[in-house]
Amino acid sequence: MTNPQDTEDTENSLSTDVKPKSMRWKLFFARLAIRLGLLKRESIDTVEVNQLINENLPITFEIPTPGGDGELTLLQVSFHVDKEKDCIHAELLCNFSVDVKNKLIYNTHLQITVESGLEFHKASRAIGVKDVSITQLNLISDKYSIMKDTTSLLSALIPGAVKSLVNLTLTSTQVLLGGTKLSAAAQYLMIYTSGSKQKVIDYHTPTIEKMVGKLLASPDYRYILDDNDFEENLFADHGKRVSIENGKVYFIFND
């Protein structure tokens, strides 16, 4: 006896696999145009890609922090084509936070500016970025900015005889401590005694830039071409490469 659910699943599968007759004819003529060299390129709607990327946000990943837990969350991405450089110019809105002993000691928004190229990965039917360059990383001072006093946390890490030194600079403290070496966690917390939010970000900037570059170049974050979109499906099947020219992004079928 046939299970009604099995019949329904089979019908659904057939309906998604078989393209409408009008679509098949459209694909036929498009493929013929490519073979004859009549269709060489097709421009990409970057507005739609922007929307699809942001639908998959936020994304959070860890930032190594001595004695604590750092997190960078990618909240929003906005990109366009730089007409002068013929590259992708993207602005990333992120949130960066640090917890030490389950206590939030730092939180801020960051704006990260990125430039990159694009490349087509035919095997995975996807478009990814290449040659990623972080051009700017700016701290945003808004209502979400928090920087807590770390004196109590620092005092627990510094020998009792020198707890009164926590308001001095790291260099001065090390001089007065003589041969006593501060732990990595203590040295990190000393940055907060300056009261400068920028100095905290400066400490983490190399790691954040490395992590962002790695994230953007990861196969997990490539744009998968949509089989249900005529242009994207056509390019996935017959495209050669992606090109940025004169301020526009193109699918290239024939050079």
The domain limits of the chain are: 1-39, 43-255
Residue-wise pLDDT for 153-172, tens only, equals: 877 777 654 445 544 444 44
In this prediction, residue 133 carries a pLDDT of: 92
CB atoms within 10 A of CB 196: 12
C-alpha closest to that of 224 among 87, 52, 39: 52
Residue-wise pLDDT for 86-122, tens only, equals: 899 999 999 999 999 999 999 999 999 999 999 999 9
Amino acid identity of 66?
P
Give the residue-averaged pLDDT of 144-152.
85
Amino acid identity of 137?
L
Question: Could you tell me if residue 138 is left (phi over 0), alpha (psi between -120 and 50 degrees) or otherwise beta?
Answer: beta
| pTM of this structure | 0.74
Query: Across the strands, what pairs with 213?
Result: none
Query: How far apart are the C-alpha atoms of 45 and 47, rounded to whole Å?
Result: 6
In this prediction, residue 20 carries a pLDDT of: 58
Tokens 């936020």 sit on residue: 58
Return the CATH number of 43-255, one of 2.70.170.10, 3.30.565.10, 3.30.420.40, 3.15.10.40.
3.15.10.40
58 prior amide bond cis, ω within 30? yes
Give the residue-averaged pLDDT of 140-145.
87
Query: Across the strands, what pairs with 242?
Result: 251
Residue-wise pLDDT for 177-212, tens only, equals: 444 567 888 888 888 888 899 999 999 999 999 999
